[in-house]
Every structure is written in structure tokens, then in C-alpha cells.
Structure 1
Amino acid sequence: MERFKETLLESGYTEKISMAIVNGILQAIALNLFWRPGHIYASGVTGLGQIIVTLTENISGMILPMGIVLYCLNVPLFVLAWFKISKKFTIFTMFSVFMTSFFIEIIPVTTLSDDPIICAIFGGAACGLGIGLALKGGLSSGGLDIVSMTIRKATGKNVGSINIIFNACIILASGFLFGWPFAFYSAFSIFVNGKVVDMVYTRQKKMQIMIVTKHPDLVIEEVHSRIRRGITIIKHAEGAFNRNEETILISVITRDQIPLLHSAMHHSDPKAFVSISENVTIMGNFYDPMM
């Protein structure tokens, strides 16, 4: 039993499981305490599930369980992820979506406010926080993430237009079902959701680093021991002031890896000159641990 616990800790499974539970609770809070009472639609597959539940209730009077609908919509995507991404990724994604569906069913729909703007803001913030924490823990919340990752793995390209088109359809549907003011509220909530995800999850933000050092071998060894990134070496550089020969190392890291870079430089060459440029654009393959 002790060995099993050690294996979980070493592999980071406990963090993934914890983040899946936290994400599920926050997603359920966003949906049942803000979005559904405020007639606000979520983005992605969750929004599609809301449309199906609403249309079914309006047409036949039957109320479908939102959690079960959400999980069923993700099942075909699980199959896609199993064959096109990885089995380990699929298992954790299935668990993450199950936690979300479970908490959606056990947390009752409660009206905390009738103000749709308040519902849009707090619903989007709660959902964004949950997704950001899940991504930070190396999890996917399912839905369109699986489609985007499949295309990115196959082509090396990000396909943000899929999310934009799908969410535009969700917003238009909310306008037809509840009136156009609610379409704008839904769009605003999706915007808040994205902003909160960006604040919490920083791994997708690329930073270019340039290191000028007299000890390139030590720096490269320390950086590679902490960060899985390629490094370009430019030899025989010369300082204009003292004419000393230096070596320039260039690499691209993500924002969350900056503390690891600080540690590597402290142990290898504390006197090196390090320049960091934010939000660089990357063309070509870039290692993504989520893949």
C-alpha cells in the first residue's frame, strides 16, 4: 500500500486527481449557481449540452439530467482521444469529465442572483478558474480541447478557429432561445472565462530567452536538467566593452518555466546576462507536455 502511494506521488497522479475534483466542483458551481439560473450559455460542449436540455424541455417537457448529457456528448471525443492522442491522456480526461458531470448532478440549481451580468461574470470566472487549474495540473476538461489537440498533434498547428466558430453558434442559439440580450451576456461570460484561464494557466505563453555566458556547457547542463527545451548555441560572440569572448544561448520556454530557469542560472552562472522576451510567436514544432 505504501509503495502504491509513493508511485502516485512520484507520477503526479494525486495532483491530477485533486485538480479534476476541484475543476468539477467549480464547473458545477458556474453552471448550476450562475449560468443556468441566469439563462447564460457556456462555451464548447457544455453550451451544446445546455441547448439540448433546453430544447428537450421546451419541446417535450422532459428535463434531461445535464451531467449525463454532458458526459454522453464527450464519449465520441474520448474514442477520438484514445486512438489519436494517448490512452493515459484519455483516462484522465474521462475522469475529469466524470467529476464535472458528477458534481453538476449533486449540486442543486440555485438562483443566487437574477442579474444576468452578475451571472455572466461569476459563472465565467468560476469556470475559467476550474479550467485553468485543470490545465495547470496537466488535465483536459474534454470537449473541443480533444479536437484541437488531435489536430495540433497531427499537423503541429493550433486551430483556434474551431473554438471560435463553435462558440459563435452557441451564442447565436442562446439568442434564438432566450432573446438577443442573453446572447450578449453569454458572449461576455465566455470572454471572462477565457481571461481567467489565461491568468491561471500560463504554460501556453511563450518566452524567448537569450543567455550570454562564459560557461555555456554548465548552463546547458543545468537548464536541460530542469527544462525540456532545445537550445541554439552561437559561439565566438564578443562583448563591445571589454572584448571578452562570450557564448550566446537562445531558447524558447513557457512562462511557468521561468522559476526553473532562475534556479538553473543560479547554479550554473549567476553572472550571466539573461534577456527574456514575452509572448513570442512560434512557427513549427514546440514540445507540449500535454501531448
Structure 2
Amino acid sequence: MTKHKLIPSISSTNIVGIVLSSLMSSFAIVNFVRPAHLVPAGVTGLSMLVQREVLELLNVNLSFGVIYLFINVSILLFVFKHLGKQFVILSLLHVVLTSFFSDILPVYQLAHEPVLLAIFGGVVNGLAISVALKVGGSTGGTDFIAIFFSTVKNRPMWDKIMIFNMSMLIYNGWRSNWELSLYSIIYQFISTEILTKNHDRYKLSSLHIITDQPEVVSQAILSIVRHGITEFQGKGVYSQKDKTMLYMVVNSFEIRPVVKAIKDADAKAFIEIASVDRIEGNYRQKPLD
């Protein structure tokens, strides 16, 4: 009898990726966010806003750590059943390492202009998040929400998180400092753009495959992915030969292995790949580990 593993198998590649990502996140915090006095977004920024508003309105000084922990735990409890154990463990490791590296990394005087710090800091932060997601983890906080709703909706939801962050920064500008909030919006916008370009787990693509060997090609595809395939019969106008067209939708990160499997099964297969903006109906999303 096979026992269910309570602790997932995490490879050295996962660990190295998370360490690299946390170093990049920490570097962005130490050398871009802090020197430019940028306002943090996500759970950190929300915790700071809650702490400040409660103090001003109720004259109660709540602990930042308590608020931050409460919000993170609440989010994690909400989405935990939909996230894999490996994803959660790697994400928590990233949070711990980022906290550690942020205290020990040296500070370099990279620029004096806040706008330059916001732009290049956003690039580094966006790449850091992308690396964490590539190796099966995340940077925690609002990443949990984005991953959860991306899984439910079968499309990327990072733009919705960006809207939330920008709304929070606009509120902060109204309540405190417009200039710093606007620089922070630049930082968040660029981070999200870099992330959206690099993270393809929830981007969908359609494949139209014209082949003379539909059964062989279908079996080759189904041996590596578990998505539905629809078969159509047709005729090549030039060759006047009967042809079969296979249609399917896959996640963008699955395109390379699927195309390779098709070519191995039928080297003469014709494949068209197109971006899919949205789907409705049953679609199997590969679960997080």
C-alpha cells in the first residue's frame, strides 16, 4: 500500500530558485524601495495602512506584526485547499529568506532620482516574483490570491492585484504623501508588467493540428497532458487528400512539450498556435504541487 506523502518532494532546483528569488526581492527592497522611500503595496502596505488608520481614528496603536500575520494567515486559510503543499512551503521559505536577506544585504548607491529607483526596482522585483513562480513557489501575500483566482478563472489575475495595489497607493497619497505614492505606483506597474510577460502558467493557447495520423498524434499528446482533443474531418484542397484536424486548448507552458510530442508522432503534421483570451466550460488546469 502506497502511503500518502504529507511532505512533498522538493528538489534542489526549487530551493536554489527560491533562494535566488528571495535575494532579488531583498535587493529590490534594500537598494530601490528604501532609498526612494517607496510605499509598499500588497499585504505589507495594507498592514501599514490599517495600523495608521486605527491609530488616527481610534487612538489604538496595534502591532504591525500582528496585523501582518493576521492578514497573511487569513488569506492562506482562505486559499489553502486550492494550493499545493509544495507551493505553500516554498512560498513560506521565500518570505522567511527575504526577511533575513533584507537585514544583511549591503546598500549600494545606485541612483539618486526616485523615478529611476522606482523603474529599475520594479524590474528587479517583477523578475524576482517570476523566478519564484517558475520554480513552484511565490513571494506570499497577495500572490496567494492571484494564484487562487487565476486557477478558478483559467486566466492570469495579476492585473486585478495591480488595480488593488494602485487603489491602496492612491488612498495613501490622499491621506499622506502624493509624490511617494505616485512613484510607488510606477514601481508596482512595472513589476506587474514584467511578471505578466514571464509567468505563463495561466495563459492559454489553442492548437489546430492537421495530420494524416490522428490516432497516433492524439495518444502522443494525451501521454503528457490531460486536456480534451476534438477531431474534425476535412480534405486538403491542393493535395485533394483526406485530412484530420485536431483542436485543443493548452496552457502556454505546455506548448513546447506538446509540439515536440506531435512532431515525434508525425513529422509532417501542420500546427497552428494561437493565443486564447478566455474560455467558458470545463477545462482541466494542472494542479499546483
Aligned partner of residue 141 in structure 1, secondary structure: coil
Structure 1: how far apart are the matches of 2:245 and 2:42? 44
Aligned to 1:22: 20
Aligned to 1:96: 94
1:181 deviates by: 2.4
> Do the aligned residues in 2 keep the contact of 1:206 with 1:255 (CA within 8 Å)?
yes
Aligned to 1:233: 231
1:173 deviates by: 4.1
> Do the aligned residues in 2 keep the contact of 1:210 with 1:250 (CA within 8 Å)?
yes
Structure 2: how far apart are the matches of 1:29 and 1:54? 27
Residues 130-279 of structure 1 mapped to structure 2, 5 A cutoff: 130-151=128-149, 163-176=161-174, 179-234=177-232, 236-279=233-276
1:249 deviates by: 0.6
1:23 deviates by: 1.5
Aligned to 1:128: 126
- For structure 1, list consecutive stretches of 5 or more residues without a partner in the other structure: 1-9
Among 266, 283, 288, the residue aligned to 1:286: 283
Q: From the superposition, tell whether residues 256 and 78 of structure 1 become closer, same or farther in structure 2 (CA, over 3 Å).
A: same
Q: Deviations over 1:3-44 (max 9, x none)?
A: xxxxxxx95532222222112111111112101210223432
> Do the aligned residues in 2 keep the contact of 1:41 with 1:170 (CA within 8 Å)?
no
Which stretch of the first structure deviates more once superposed, 241-250 or 167-176? 167-176
Q: Deviations over 1:179-212 (max 9, x none)?
A: 3222221111111101211232233322111001
> Do the aligned residues in 1 keep the contact of 2:10 with 2:86 (CA within 8 Å)?
no
Read off the aligned partner of 1:190 and give its amino acid letter: Q
Q: From the superposition, tell whether residues 160 and 249 of structure 1 become closer, same or farther in structure 2 (CA, over 3 Å).
A: same
Q: Deviations over 1:136-160 (max 9, x none)?
A: 1121222123234445556768766
User: Structure 2 length as normaliser, TM-score?
Assistant: 0.80
- For structure 2, list consecutive stretches of 5 or more residues without a partner in the other structure: 1-7
Structure 2: how far apart are the matches of 1:80 and 1:248? 42
Q: From the superposition, tell whether residues 42 and 215 of structure 1 become closer, same or farther in structure 2 (CA, over 3 Å).
A: farther
Structure 2: how far apart are the matches of 1:25 and 1:49? 23
Aligned partner of residue 282 in structure 1, secondary structure: coil
Structure 1: how far apart are the matches of 2:277 and 2:163? 25
Structure 1: how far apart are the matches of 2:86 and 2:277? 31
Q: From the superposition, tell whether residues 119 and 69 of structure 1 become closer, same or farther in structure 2 (CA, over 3 Å).
A: farther
Which stretch of the first structure deviates more once superposed, 130-139 or 175-184? 175-184
> Do the aligned residues in 2 keep the contact of 1:37 with 1:110 (CA within 8 Å)?
no
Q: From the superposition, tell whether residues 52 and 104 of structure 1 become closer, same or farther in structure 2 (CA, over 3 Å).
A: farther
> Do the aligned residues in 2 keep the contact of 1:216 with 1:249 (CA within 8 Å)?
yes
Structure 2: how far apart are the matches of 1:82 and 1:187? 29
User: Structure 1 length as normaliser, TM-score?
Assistant: 0.79
Q: From the superposition, tell whether residues 115 and 50 of structure 1 become closer, same or farther in structure 2 (CA, over 3 Å).
A: farther
Aligned length: 278
Residues 111-126 of structure 1 mapped to structure 2, 5 A cutoff: 111-126=109-124
1:70 deviates by: 5.7
Q: From the superposition, tell whether residues 195 and 159 of structure 1 become closer, same or farther in structure 2 (CA, over 3 Å).
A: closer
Aligned partner of residue 37 in structure 1, secondary structure: helix
Read off the aligned partner of 2:245 and give its amino acid letter: I
> Do the aligned residues in 2 keep the contact of 1:209 with 1:251 (CA within 8 Å)?
yes
